[in-house]
Amino acid sequence: MNGQRWMGRRALGWWFIFLAIGLAGPAVAAPLQDPIQLLEALEKQRVALDERARSLDLKEAELKRLEERIDKRIALLEELRLAIETDLAKEKEINDENIRRLAKIYSGMKPRAAAERIRGLDRKTAIKVLKNINEKVAAQILGKMEARDAAALADILGMTLSDKRNNR
């Protein structure tokens, strides 16, 4: 083993000699004249590489910090999205329940009175209410509305005027 180490040092020594006299080949562009210049050049290169390594380490650390911040924001946005979806589902459920109650109330009214009240609702709400009422009762209510209003609502509901009149 000592022989191998001695051979390695010897080969390295020869390489330095060849480097110094310019015989090391194309790897060395401008041969240095003395070993001190060679050592100084190697030291400069080592310092430059160390500086570059420190710079890369700093950049890597900054990237990790940014990645952590982004991951936290993504998690926060995901929580917010889930909360919004939950709130929207609750609101829809409440609205649907209100529409069902309103439909039940209008179903219990006389068709003319229900028609007057439904005509006062916005179109979306009126359609939702009519969809939750028994078809026969809805047809009676539409039959008591002005023809233009009833036709518009019936078209949206998918009913024709003849269907509406036959169910009176």
Q: Going residue by residue through the chain (168 aa), what tens digit of pLDDT does each one get?
A: 454 544 555 555 655 665 565 554 555 445 556 888 888 889 999 999 999 999 999 999 999 999 999 999 999 999 999 999 999 999 999 999 999 999 999 999 999 999 999 989 999 999 999 999 998 999 999 999 998 988 888 888 886 445 545 555
75, part of any domain: yes
Position 20 in a domain: no
Amino acid at 141: I
- Residue where the block lists tokens 């009214």: 109
CATH number of the structural domain spanning residue 140: 1.10.220
Q: According to the model, what pLDDT value does residue 14 have?
A: 57
The 3-state DSSP class for residue 90 equals helix
Residue 30 lies in a domain: no
- Whether 69 is in a domain gets the answer yes
- Domain that includes residue 132, residue range: 37-166
Residue 99 covered by a domain: yes
User: Rounded to an integer, what distance in angstroms lies between the CA atom of residue 113 and that of residue 119?
Assistant: 10
What's the CA gap between 123 and 119, in Å, rounded?
8
Residue at 71 is within a domain: yes
Instruction: Please give the DSSP secondary-structure letter assigned to residue 41.
Output: H
Q: For residues 88 and 76, give the distance between their C-alpha atoms in angstroms, rounded to a whole number.
A: 18
Task: Single out the residue of 162, 96, 167, 156 nearest to residue 134, CA to CA.
Answer: 167
What's the total number of domains in the chain? 1
Quote the pLDDT of residue 60.
96
Look at residue 161 in the predicted model and tell me its pLDDT: 46
pLDDT of 30 reads 54
Other C-beta atoms closer than 10 Å to the C-beta of 153 total 21
Assess if residue 8 is contained within a domain: no
φ and ψ at residue 136, rounded to 5 degrees:
-65, -45
Other Cβ atoms closer than 10 A to 47: 10
